[in-house]
Structure 1
Amino acid sequence: MVVEKNGQVLAVARAGMTGEGFYVDGSHDMNCCRRQAKVNSGGTKEMRAVGLKSIAMLIGVFALSLQTAIAAGLPFPDLEVELAELDSDHLRLGRDHATLGLERVGPGLSRQEVEEWLGSPVSRDPQEGLMHWQYNVHFPVAGGTSELVCQYMVVFGADEVVSSTHWRRRFCETLYQSRVVDIPSEDVEVVTLSADVLFGFGEAELTREGQEELRRVAEQLKAKYEDAVITLVGHTDRIGSDEFNLKLSQRRAEAVRRQLTGYGLPSDSMVAEGRGETEPVVSCRTDDLEDLKECLKPNRRVEIEVFERQ
């Protein structure tokens, strides 16, 4: 059974499923999406991962845990689905965040105006004199190979105008802020770290030197920002296949995110993504592999983009 109850999500994978599509907080453990996982992005209190063996199949059970944002206690709908009922469809389908125009919705808008901007909500739930409209919003993650479905709520007061808006999970709000909110370039700090310092060539495991470098970065960010939105972007050189480089860049960004979390930065304030070899800063021409690796060194990097949450 796949159960989502009171903000806790259980994702059950059937035999033959790969691990793709499961993510936690933007890493390759997060529950999402629209590939194999078929579980939405409800907020949870704890995260547990349990593997159960049977004679015929291996069933992975993931109780995915992510901190809720200010939306805690709001009537976001839960799901309960028998395992036997899972098929190729998804438990929740979201609308593309880029087409919704959520930035136009705020206090003071009427119900009619909200529906004109966002369309009909997935649910309308009256509670304690307020009306709650829920929308499912999806974001591409993991280099666009999967999508995370987030729950977004618009609350109307007794006067039938918007009193507040909420994301069920803080991580979804972080995704939204990092991809949609227009932040002046002068307010965005970019820290570029050499992947050759952080990792071995072609690897995604942090070196000891890389760990120390990230410790220094974490201390600086904690001292400078009260509530930062942090985007971690992995880049590679052009050596190797496009697919390998894209996956490597994603794994490296996620490794940096996990390490920064260990150094005290909130996990739900960070988004990790990989862009492979698509954004080089230098171009090199040489037939010697070692010379090429040295020349392409600036392309192997992790960029940390930071701004104060709006």
Structure 2
Amino acid sequence: MTKTQFHRFSAIAAGAAALLVLQGCSSYVSKGITDDGKATEVVFPSIDNDAWLKEGTFPNLDNLRAVAPGVTKDQLYDLLGRPHFREGLAGPREWDYIFHFRKAGGGVTTCQYKAIFDKDYKAQTFHWLPAGCGDVLAARPVQAAERPAGPAPAAPRKITLGADGLFRFDGGALADLLPEGRRKLDALAGDIKSVKTFDAIKVTGHTDRLGSNTYNNALSLARANTVRDYLVQAGVAPQNMQVQGKGESEPKVQCAQTSRAALIDCLAPNRRVEIEVFGGR
């Protein structure tokens, strides 16, 4: 086996492992889910036994308010991220999340959130545990005239790292990180830790168009997970970190070279990992 073949095999194995996590079966199913996305008995999973992301996330409230009957799985994924339990992405008729909300007087409230899909896999009903957690969406936002004078919230800070500088070609696992990639991530971790507070960090992996959609989606997610895991090992708090893989769906450049080597070089900007820091102060 050549070195290139070995690296490709390692990447495929990492991608397959990520897909297995996403497609794991669950030990809980709501009872009597109908074609129109309702259930006769809503069953919530156990955080300790069924969640792969037990620490949950602090969701964006505007994104939560944008969720409404009829949203597709892709739209829900874009708004809230992948589900936090081992229930798979494609087939299941319900997705579950663990959300944290900061209390006005201090402290944090932890809630579970469930979306149930109709036969066409559009979310139709939504449920909270405890039920009162949904009140956070009804809270009246402060109007502009009522806000105290002060600087406007800062826009999210986005750092884009080229995948070619982070990973060996076609690689996405921790073992595929290049020495220069490790140095970049160490510097980034130090920069993030110097921020006093932040609301969330989103890590998004991207690939070029070479290869199948399934392979590229798995590879982009594996790269994002590796970057997240590396930052956590470097001391960045994991609680507010969100991870997603966009595959080849958001290219920065379009290329038409006939030589494969030239095409790979041209497509380099599409192979990247983006890190967004929200609310850093």
TM-score (norm 1): 0.49
Looking at structure 2, the residues matched to 253 and 189 of structure 1 have their Cα atoms a distance apart, in angstroms, of: 17
Secondary structure in 2 matching 1:167:
strand
Q: Deviations over 1:246-265 (max 9, x none)?
A: 11000000000000000111
Indicate if the aligned counterparts of 2:253 and 2:267 stay in contact, CA closer than 8 A: yes
**What amino acid is the match of 1:99?**
A
In structure 1, the partner of 2:198 is 227
Give 2:5's aligned residue.
Answer: none
Does the 8 Å contact 1:235/1:276 carry over to 2? Answer: yes
Residue 96 of structure 2 corresponds to residue 149 of structure 1: yes
Give the structure with the higher percent helix.
2
Listed one character per residue, the Cα deviations across residues 243-293 of structure 1 (whole Å, up to 9, x for unaligned) are: 110110000000000000001111121111000000000011111000001
Q: Which one of 255, 277, 280 corresponds to residue 284 of structure 1?
A: 255
Structure 2 letter corresponding to 1:289: R
Percentage of identical aligned residues: 29
More strand by share: 1
What is the rounded CA distance, in whole Å, between the counterparts of 2:237 and 2:218 in structure 1? 24
Task: Quote the residue 1:272 is aligned against.
Answer: 243
Counterpart residue identity of residue 301, structure 1: R
Distance 1:22 1:228, change over 3 A: farther
**Whole-Å Cα distance in 1 between the matches of residues 265 and 205 of structure 2?**
18
Using the alignment, how far apart are the partners of 1:298 and 1:20 within structure 2? Answer: 24
- The answer to whether the 8 Å contact 1:198/1:211 transfers is yes
CA distance in 2, matches of 1:284, 1:21: 29
SS of the residue 1:221 aligns to: helix
Deviation at 1:150, TM superposition (A): 2.6
The one of 255, 268, 276 aligned to 1:297: 268
Q: Which moved more, 1:236-245 or 1:204-213?
A: 204-213
Please tell me whether the aligned partners of residues 198 and 207 of structure 1 are also in contact (alpha carbons under 8 angstroms).
Answer: yes
CA contact (8 A) 2:206 2:271 kept: yes
1:153 is displaced (CA, Å) by: 9.4
Q: 2:168 aligns with which of 200, 210, 215?
A: 200
| Aligned-partner Cα distance in 1 for 2:242–2:170 | 22
Q: Distance in 1 between matches of 2:260 and 2:100?
A: 53
Partner SS state of residue 109, structure 2: strand
Distance 1:20 1:298 in 2: 24
Q: Is the 8 A contact 2:18 2:218 kept in 1?
A: no
3-state SS of the aligned residue for 2:252? coil
Change in CA separation of 1:199 and 1:97 when aligned onto 2, cut-off 3 Å: same
Deviations 1:49-72 (A, max 9, x none): xxxxxxxxxxxx9896734899xx
Q: Give the conservation status (yes or no) of the 8 Å contact 1:237–1:297.
A: yes
Q: Within 5 A, what are the aligned runs for 1:1-310?
A: 36-38=25-27, 42-44=46-48, 66-67=54-55, 98-99=67-68, 140-141=82-83, 144-145=89-90, 148-150=95-97, 166-168=109-111, 186-204=154-172, 205-308=176-279
1:197-251 deviations in whole A, cap 9, x for unaligned?
A: 1111111132222111111001101112413400000000011111110110000
TM-score by length of 2: 0.54
Change (3 A) 1:288 1:223: same
Residue 126 of structure 2 is matched in structure 1 by none
Q: 2:82 is aligned with what amino acid? A: P
Identify unmatched segments of 5+ residues in structure 2: 1-15, 29-43, 59-63, 70-79, 102-106, 113-140, 142-151
**1:148 Cα deviation (Å)?**
4.9
Deviations 1:77-98 (A, max 9, x none): xxxxxxxxxxxxxxxxxx9982
Distance 1:299 1:65, change over 3 A: closer
CA 1:64/1:244 → structure 2, altered by over 3 Å: closer, same or farther? closer
Contact 1:153 1:166 in 2 (8 A): yes
Unaligned runs of 5+ in 1: 1-17, 29-33, 45-60, 71-94, 101-137, 155-163, 170-181
Give the Cα separation in 2 of the matches to 1:292 and 1:19. 29
**Maintained 8 Å contact 1:254/1:272:** yes
Counterpart residue number, 1:83: none
Structure 1 CA distance for aligned equivalents of residues 241 and 56 of structure 2? 15
Superposition RMSD on alpha carbons, in Å? Answer: 4.2
Whole-Å separation in 1 of the counterparts to 2:227 and 2:110: 25
